[in-house]
Amino acid sequence: MWFNVGYNLKSEFSKALSNLFPYEFTFAGEHLCSIEAFFQGIKIKDKNIQKYAFKYSGIDANSLKAASDFNWQETGTIYWKGRKISKN
């Protein structure tokens, strides 16, 4: 059985399973407001700006990628609290 997940869909279940859903949680001592905030935040090198990015949720969190020209897929690098993490 397939389940369509998307924040813009009418089903509450679809929204709740979306990265954009405003779901607050703590991970490794950092408070985040959505999974999307985590995904966008780990692309930010500066730990203070990263912490600020973690406060976003929904479309606002997704919009963070438009504010940067950093391509983590090209470099294979993400960041956690200012520390470089390479997938290579």
Assess contact for 43 and 35: CB atoms under 8 A: no
Residue 82 included in any domain: yes
Residue 42 included in any domain: yes
> Residue 58 phi/psi, 5° resolution?
60, -145
Residue 3 included in any domain: no
Residue 20 included in any domain: no
Residue 79 structure tokens: 């960041």
Indicate if the pLDDT at residue 1 is higher than 70. Answer: no
- Contact partners, residue 3, CB within 8 Å, separation at least 6: 13, 14, 17
Domain count, the chain: 1
pTM, rounded to two decimals: 0.81
Residue 25 included in any domain: no
Please report, as a single letter, which amino acid is at residue 22: P
Residue 43 included in any domain: yes
- Contact partners, residue 9, CB within 8 Å, separation at least 6: 15
pLDDT band, residue 54 (cuts 50/70/90): very high
Q: What is the DSSP letter of 32?
A: E
What pLDDT, on the 0 to 100 scale, is given for residue 73? 82
Residue 23 included in any domain: no
Residue 21 included in any domain: no
Give the C-alpha separation, 33 to 54, whole Å: 6
Q: Which comes out higher in pLDDT, residue 81 or 21?
A: 81
Indicate if the pLDDT at residue 26 is higher than 70. Answer: yes
Range of the domain at 51: 32-67+75-88
pLDDT digits (tens, 9 = 90+) for 34-52: 999 999 999 998 999 999 9
